[in-house]
Amino acid sequence: MRNVLRNVSTLTTLACERLKRGSLGDPTHPGLRIMARPSGAKVWIYRFRDPAGKMAQLLIGSFPALSLADARSEWRNHRATRDKHGDPRGEVRRRQEAAKVAAIRGKGYTLTRAAESYQKEHLSKLARGDEQWRILEREILPEIGSVLLADLKPSQVMAAVVPMRKRAPRVAAMGISALRGVIRHARSMNRLDLDVADPTAGIPTIPQGKRSRALSAPEIGRLLRWLDSGAVSRTIVDVLRLTLYTGARSGEVCAMRSRDVDIDAKTWTHTQGKTGDVSVTPLSAPAVEILRNRLGEEYVFPVRGNPVNQKALSVALFASRQAGDACPIDHWTSHDLRRTTRTGLARLGCPFEIGESILGHRLPGVAGVYNVCAYADEMRKWLDRWAEHVAGIVAPRAKSGRVKR
């Protein structure tokens, strides 16, 4: 049915009640009209020209819930907004969002509820998302989780974070990062108005420093026993074990080629990822045992013809945590195993230049040029001692004592 536009000399409540189809304009309030929809419902609209000169309209409310007098009052507000800003629709949207925030506050949308939503919709899908969730759950939410998200202040965030800064700067930095993720998620879900300031915006960056995590002897034991539990695939197990026994970067272990391994000579020749130098790493008995049955294909750890991706390590560890088979060690990565090997060698008494050569680090001065080949036998000796030490951690001997040198 064609919409019928009509004007009357004076718009009255009675005329609004009698309207059956089309619309009626209000001569005393230009642009204000009441429209009868095919369903029989009647609504108030305000028609105006936007800053580009195009006709636009704004829904004001329904009749009779919004009376003629109230509709004229709304018209005056929108007209004033149009004269000031050019388009009243933006102000209407802002008011609607503000009403949403008020409703959310009334329902008690706290930081804890926002964090739980963020964990479910985002963190649970990330390889290391559970680490961020643990920091939120253990360190931050017990302090400020009950605060309404819209009322959260930077001072409250700082009060929760400051105690972590001296104790664990990296944890504090990850906590702030996780909080920022919660805020972004809440905004994307229309749970936090854009006009509400981000309570983490003014928080200064916490210097994390260089990561220095090395597993203790008890942690090494827990790790190796966990690897034997079947929580992750044999490929992941062997990559992590080989990283621990060689001190190599886990990415270099993942990319290991069969042609670079000499089982008889018990060596692995490879290129250092950072320096580009070629290193010859002696292989201890446990390392040889891992590799003996893996050689043959181009890559020692193949996945559909390509080497296993280093990211697969993090994904596998995350999947084990999701399945309830998490490794019983907090806050560790595969790269920590390389640092663990270097630290363990130093504790056993390994000379500095030998330990650095094992890791493929360039030695300072002339030693880095002339002595590398002379260290081959020493490198083998200390990697063998490291393997014996690790074996002693997992299965302590009846008569424990210091490793012979």
pLDDT band at residue 106 under the 50/70/90 scheme: very low
| Domains of the chain, residue spans | 5-87, 111-188, 217-394
Angle 131-136-142 from CA coordinates, rounded to 5°: 140
DSSP characters for 146-172? TSBGGG--HHHHHHHHHHHHHH-HHHH
pLDDT per residue as tens digits for the range 257-302: 999 999 999 999 988 766 677 889 999 999 999 999 899 899 999 9
pLDDT of residue 1: 40
- The pLDDT score that the predictor gives to residue 389 is 95
For 111-188, CATH number? 1.10.150
- Position 275 scores a pLDDT of 65
Q: pLDDT tens across 48-58, in order?
A: 888 878 888 88
More reliable by pLDDT, 321 or 63? 63
**pLDDT greater than 50 at residue 404:** no
- Cα–Cα distance, 363 to 353 (Å, whole number): 7
Strands 22-25, 5-7: pairing kind: parallel
Q: Kindly report the number of other CB atoms within 10 A of residue 53's CB atom.
A: 6
Determine the pLDDT at residue 331.
74
Tens of pLDDT, residues 15-45: 999 988 888 989 889 889 999 988 889 999 9
Common-topology check for domains 5-87 and 217-394: no
Whether domain 5-87 has CATH 3.40.50.620: the reply is: no
% of residues, the chain, pLDDT over 70: 85
pTM above 0.85, yes or no: no
CATH number, domain 217-394, options 3.40.366.10, 1.10.443.10, 3.30.1360.70, 3.30.70.120: 1.10.443.10
Say what the pLDDT of residue 103 is.
Answer: 58
Distances (CA, A) of 5 to 26, 30, 40, 349: 11, 14, 16, 95
